[in-house]
Amino acid sequence: MRAVGKKIIMFRKKKAADANAPAIHGLSVTEARYTVFDTELTGLDEKKDGIISMGAVKMTGGRIELGETFNMLANPGTNHMKPGSVIVHGITPSELAEKPPIGQVLSGFLDFCGGDIVVGHMVSIDLAFIGKEMKRLPGREFRNRAVDTFSLVEWLRKRGCRTGFPVSGKLHELARCLGIAVRQAHDALMDAFITAQLFQRLIPLLAEEGVGDIEGLLRIGDPDKGGERHRFFSGEIGNF
Partner 1 sequence: MLVEDVMDFLRQVPPFQFLDGKDLKAIAGKVSLEFYPKDALILRQKGPASLYLRIIKKGGVKVYRISDSGEEVLIDYRGEGDVFGLLSLMGEDGQKSNVVAVEDTICYLVKKDDVMKLIETNPLFTEYFFKSHMTRYIDKTYDEMHGRNVLAGSGDKLLFTTRVEEIAAREVATATEDVSIQEAAMLMTARKISSLVILDGNGLPAGIVTDRDLREKVVARGRDVDEPVKNVMSLPLVRVDSKDFCFEAVLKMIKYNIHHLLVIRDGELQGVITNHDLMILQGTSPLSFAKDIENQITVEGLAPVAGKINNIVGLLLKDGAKASSIAKVISEINDRLVRKVLGMAERKFGRPPLPYCWIALGSEGRKEQTFKTDQDNALIYADPQGENEALEAGEYFRQFAVFVREALLKCCFPPCPAGFMASNPEWNQPLRTWKKYFTDWVSTPTAEAVLKSLIFFDFRPIYGDMALAGQLRDHLVSILQDEMVFLGFLANKIIRNRPPIGFMKSFVVEKSGEHKDELNLKLKGIAPIVDAVRLFALEKGVAETSTLERMEALRGKHTIVEEYAEELEHAFEFIMLLRITHQYGQIKAGKQPDNFINPDNLSNLQKKTIKDAFSLISRIQDLIIERYKALIL
* 190 is a contact residue toward partner 1 (CB under 8 A): yes
Q: Are the CB atoms for 18 and 143 separated by under 8 Å?
A: yes
Q: Which whole-number Å values give the CA distances from 119 to 57, 75, 171, in the listed order?
A: 10, 24, 13
For residue 180, which phi and psi values (nearest 5 degrees)?
-90, 130
Catalytic residue list contains 186:
yes
Q: How far is the CB of 20 from partner 1 (least distance, A)?
A: 30
Catalytic residue among 25, 121, 186, 230: 186
* 210 is a contact residue toward partner 1 (CB under 8 A): no
Segment near partner 1 (CB under 8 A), from 64-72, 83-91, 110-118, 129-137? 64-72
Strands (E), 61-135: 63-73, 117-120
The residue within the footprint of partner 1, chosen from 57, 128, 152, 217 (CB under 8 A), is 57
CA dihedral 45, 217, 107, 101 (to 10 degrees): 30
* 62 is a contact residue toward partner 1 (CB under 8 A): yes
Q: Are the CB atoms for 209 and 159 separated by under 8 Å?
A: yes
Q: How far is the CB of 120 from partner 1 (least distance, A)?
A: 17
* 200 is a contact residue toward partner 1 (CB under 8 A): yes
- What residue ranges bind partner 1 (CB under 8 A)? 57, 60, 62-67, 69, 71, 179, 189-190, 193, 197, 200-201, 204-205
